[in-house]
Amino acid sequence: MSSFASFLLWCLLFFLCWPLAILALLAYPIVWVLLLPFRLVGVVVTGVFRFLGALITLPARLLGWKPPAPAAG
């Protein structure tokens, strides 16, 4: 969603229900902090899978195999 559309939705929410808008504004940083460990776990799991993929393909790459280039388009 574009930032301008988000701004317009925020203004509409503030105009129609300003206590809910203020609650959302105050709750956003708390929710962000609570979800931060899940983001970190996602980064770690992605790193582990990429490491395992590199480890599995290491013998083939040492023998000269190159992964195919992604298809353009």
pLDDT digits (tens, 9 = 90+) for 23-45: 888 999 999 999 999 999 999 99
Whether the predicted model's global pTM rises above the 0.95 cut? no
pLDDT digits (tens, 9 = 90+) for 35-72: 999 999 999 999 999 999 999 988 888 888 777 787 77
DSSP letters for the chain: --HHHHHHHHHHHHHH-HHHHHHHHHHHHHHHHHHHHHHHHHHHHHHHHHHHHHHHHHHHHHTT--PPPPPP-
